[in-house]
Amino acid sequence: MSFPKLLCFVFVFLFISCEPKETTSAPLDAHLKIAESLYNSNKQNEAYVYYNKSLDFNLANENNKRASYCLLQMANIEHSESDYIHSEISATRAIALFDEHTSVAYQTNALNVLGQNYTQLSNFEDALKVYHQVLRIDPDELTACITKNNIAYVYSKMGNYQAAIALLSSIENNKVLAQNPLHYARVLHNKGYYLYHVNDTNALSYLLKGLKIREQQQDDSQTVSSYMRLAAFYETSHPEDAYAWAQKAYAAATKASIADDRLEALDLLYKTTTDVTLKNKYYADFFTINDSLNKSRQKAKNQFAKIKFDAEKEVAKRKEYQAKMYLYIILLLCSILLFFLMYRFTLRKNRKKIKETAYLTETRIAKKLHDELANDVHNTIAFAETQDLEQPMNKETLLENLDTIYHRTRNISNENKDIDTGELYLEKLKAMLATYNSSDRNVIVNMDAFNHLKTSKEVKVIVYRVLQELMVNMKKHSHCSLASISIKSNKNSLQINYSDNGIGTDNLLNLKNGLQNAENRILSIHGIINFDTAPGKGFKVKIEIPK
């Protein structure tokens, strides 16, 4: 079992063991009883449905302690299905319900789930922050040791094996670990693996000590990890021994039904065998299991999203509809106010080209607010005032109108929100472009040669906004079935090429403000932008930005 998943189950166990103290003040509601029964029967995805129903019930009854418990269980299930972003959201919602009376067990569980999600998303600095926050809470001695083991794992992912080894050495002889063999074995195993990475001769001794304890405890989920690390240890020096350990790892992973570990074991078997027939078999088995696992996890993620959506619809009442209408009206007024504040700030701070771009952008937002959002709000208010909302069809119509207003408001907000220019910049840029894919339109993106880490924040913001303008223009005007975007950088410049197979045009002025905004942004940083289009010949844009 992979290290983060194993830690997740460890903290779930510790958390559940503390839970009755928190919830015995009132009988369990019917949904939570079912959820607990399913969870204890290892039917996690089915339990998720009832945890979500129990969450809605307890929120409605202002039982924040019980609601936070449901959220933490949902976060753990989402993490086990590799849905790390939604797991982070659930854990954060749980933390928001904490107060000064919240137990240490609840706090440490929530923070450790956050830390594990951050680690899986390679957000190591935030992971370390939450783990150190756990230690500041002053948890029990065992939880403190487990958390330090977490921190050591993050250090190893950052390549700082010496720090990881030093931290594990500080807890290796802790008496509480001696009383918990599997936790003690995990510390020995991890220390041995980190020693292996720094070529320390003691590595094998630690790995074997950890394995011996795990085999005595007859826990396949942990012994498989020991087998795989020993296979990796011998991979270069003794391939035959490595192959034997990989076989044991695969057998243990299969017995414990741990798909991730089966994949890792198959990879080791493929690397260490010299038999071509076996190589082909391992290769085929790997992709069969991997494809099945990906489909299963995607199905679970879709299921979780649908469960939450359906639950929200069930608890929606007439007063909530009215509250949403007033919320959207307030949001509209705030958006208009924000528009004028942005306008004033931009006039004072930006250069001439930036001013022109901001003005055109703000004008477009104002037009959307007036022509689209304001009209929708007005019509929805009129509908609510004149129609019998007790009628199911009228309720459904009102819900659809509110949903339309929500999505319009969110789209306007997304077009103008702050842009993350850090390590996740490229990932979020690709995600934005991917939203323009549809059943009849394919957007191809090639950014392999784009070194965004060496690109300034100002340029990254402008690249994001320019591509956003081009995609909006494509969606509105091109009628294309295929669009291509490539970005590459070298020592002297950043080059962007866009092309589509749309209808083209003989008059760029027909495309209105969007392309002018893009041109102004590029010129403001002394770049060059050229448009190439003709009726029936698609649309092309070439951009070069000096470094």
**Does residue 300 have a pLDDT over 90?**
no
Check if the beta carbon of residue 383 is closer than 8 Å to that of residue 401. yes
How confident is the model over 268-293, as pLDDT tens digits? 888 888 888 988 888 888 888 888 87
Position 344 scores a pLDDT of 76
Position 509 scores a pLDDT of 67
How confident is the model over 63-109, as pLDDT tens digits? 998 999 999 999 989 888 888 888 988 999 998 998 888 888 888 88
**Does residue 9 have a pLDDT over 50?**
no
Per the prediction, the chain carries an average pLDDT of 82
User: Which amino acid appears at position 163 of this protein?
Assistant: A
How confident is the model over 450-462, as pLDDT tens digits? 988 888 998 999 9
Q: What is the C-alpha to C-alpha distance for residues 261 and 220, in angstroms, rounded to an integer?
A: 11
Instruction: Please state whether 159 falls in left (phi above 0), alpha (psi between -120 and 50) or beta.
Output: left
User: Which amino acid appears at position 364 of this protein?
Assistant: R
Position 189 scores a pLDDT of 94
Position 289 scores a pLDDT of 82
Spell out the residues 6+ positions from residue 423 whose beta carbon is closer than 8 angstroms to its own. Answer: 122, 453
Check if the beta carbon of residue 242 is closer than 8 Å to that of residue 204. no
What would you report as the CA-atom Rg of the chain, rounded to the nearest whole angstrom? 28
> Distance from first CA to last CA of the chain, Å, rounded?
46
User: Which amino acid appears at position 544 of this protein?
Assistant: E
Position 20 scores a pLDDT of 40
How are beta strands 482-489 and 493-500 bridged, if at all? antiparallel
**Does residue 245 have a pLDDT over 90?**
yes
- Which of 141-145, 159-163, 377-381, 443-447 is the least confident region? 377-381
CA angle 191, 192, 196 (to 5 degrees): 115
pTM over 0.85: no
How are beta strands 493-500 and 442-449 bridged, if at all? unpaired
Q: What is the C-alpha to C-alpha distance for residues 314 and 317, in angstroms, rounded to an integer?
A: 8
Which helix or strand (DSSP H or E) is residue 530 part of? strand 528-533
Position 466 scores a pLDDT of 92
How confident is the model over 209-230, as pLDDT tens digits? 999 999 898 877 789 889 989 9
How confident is the model over 493-511, as pLDDT tens digits? 999 999 999 998 887 766 5
